[in-house]
Structures are given as structure tokens and as C-alpha cells.
């Protein structure tokens, strides 16, 4: 689905920034138009950078679980070490410990995509949208980033639920 956003400068500027930061948009990342004309989140840009295997339907599900529909999206990449910054609002887990599997999948997928996207150092294997990586699960299991994400989730979950 192609959405015409206000002005070509929006598309052009996003493409320039993604290219400048060295994201692999052929195999690992994609620019989603789900927020075209700010229909998903009024405080986010119209173009959002997400892992290529995350569908727009999953992004909508995540938005329903996040405060102000501010889903986790990548906004910056350090050019030397490849570290990324992703922004989002807090999940709405409530006192009952509600969970959203699409939300957890997106957060984990961003970490996996960071691991897979080697930038100029190498190339990742090609995959289709909607198809998650399976071969990197065992390689990524020992990564400090994923352990940190799991730790933060457990701290928040147990603080709210218990």
C-alpha cells in the first residue's frame, strides 16, 4: 500500500537519513508508511523504521498496547559501533499484568535486527516481510542487549504485578 504523505521532502529526507546511518534496507530494515498523515500517532514522524519482517498489522496491534500509540521505532544509529536508539512510550500492562505478544515480538525483533545489520562490515541473508529470522535466535541468545531487554521487562513486570 502506498500512501502519499505531505510533500516529497518527507520521503526524501527519511531516505537520506537511513542511508547516512547505514541501515540495511534490503535485508533487515524497512521504512513503514503506517503513520502517513499521522494516522497512527500524531507525535511520530510519517515514516517509521522497523525490522523488515514486522508487518503493519503487528505495528497497529503494538500501538493499541502503548500509551499514546507510541510504538518502539528506531530513530538513530551510531555510525561507528552500530548501536541504535529506539523510542517509544510505556506499555499499558496495568495491575493485571496484561501482555501483548506483538509488542514483545517488536522489541525483540529490533534487538535481533541490530545484531543482523552489520552495516558495511558484512551482509545479512535476505527475507520477506512477515518472515522472522530463525537462524539468529541461537546466536543472539547470549547477546548483552537481549539480556538487558529481558531484565528490564522482568523488572517492570514484577514491579507492577507483584
Pick the most confident of 97-101, 109-113, 127-131, 140-144: 109-113
Give the domain extent around 58.
8-161
Torsional sign, CA 138, 143, 145, 151: positive
> Cα(125)–Cα(158) distance, rounded to whole angstroms?
37
Q: Is residue 3 included in any domain, yes or no?
A: no
> Within a domain: residue 112?
yes
54-93 per-residue burial string, b: 16 or more CB within 10 A, e: under 16: bebebbebbbebbeebbbbbbeebeeeebebebebeebeb
- 128-137 pLDDT, tens digit per residue, is 555 555 544 4
In a domain, 59, yes or no: yes
Classify residue 35 as exposed, middle or buried by CB count within 10 Å of its CB (0-12, 13-18, 19+): buried
Task: Give per-residue pLDDT as tens, 102-124.
Answer: 999 999 999 999 999 976 444 34
- What is the side-by-side order of every strand in the sheet holding 73-77? 29-32, 48-51, 73-77, 84-87
Residue 1 falls inside a structural domain = no
Residue 134 neighbours by CB distance under 10 Å: 8
**Which residue matches cell numbers 546511518?**
21
Grid look-up 529526507 returns 13
How many separate domains does the chain show?
1
Has residue 142 been placed in a domain?
Answer: yes
* pTM exceeding 0.85: no
Q: Is residue 144 part of a domain?
A: yes
Does residue 46 carry a pLDDT above 70?
yes
Determine, yes or no, domain membership for 116.
yes
**Nearest partner of 148 among 137, 156, 136, judged by Cα:** 156
Using pLDDT thresholds of 50, 70 and 90, give the confidence band for residue 127: very low
Q: Find out whether 28 and 113 touch, Cβ atoms under 8 Å.
A: yes
- Which of 42-51, 78-87, 114-123, 153-162 has the least mean pLDDT? 153-162
Amino acid at each position: 500500500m502506498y500512501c502519499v504523505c505531505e510533500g516529497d521532502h518527507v520521503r526524501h529526507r527519511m531516505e537520506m537519513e537511513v542511508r547516512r546511518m547505514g541501515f540495511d534496507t534490503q535485508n533487515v530494515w524497512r521504512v513503514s508508511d503506517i503513520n502517513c498523515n499521522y494516522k497512527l500517532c500524531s507525535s511520530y514522524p510519517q515514516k517509521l523504521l522497523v525490522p523488515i519482517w514486522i508487518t503493519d498489522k503487528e505495528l497497529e496491534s503494538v500501538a493499541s498496547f502503548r500509551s499514546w500509540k507510541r510504538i518502539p521505532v528506531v530513530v538513530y544509529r551510531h555510525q561507528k559501533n552500530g548501536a541504535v536508539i529506539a523510542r517509544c512510550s510505556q506499555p499499558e500492562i496495568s495491575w493485571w499484568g496484561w501482555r501483548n505478544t506483538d509488542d514483545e515480538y517488536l522489541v525483540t525483533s529490533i534487538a535481533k535486527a541490530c545484531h543482523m545489520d552489520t552495516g558495511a562490515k558484512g551482509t545479512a541473508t535476505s527475507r520477506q516481510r512477515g518472515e522472522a529470522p530463525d537462524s539468529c535466535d541461537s546466536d543472539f541468545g547470549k547477546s548483552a542487549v537481549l539480556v538487558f531487554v529481558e531484565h528490564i521487562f522482568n523488572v517492570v513486570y514484577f514491579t507492577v504485578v507483584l
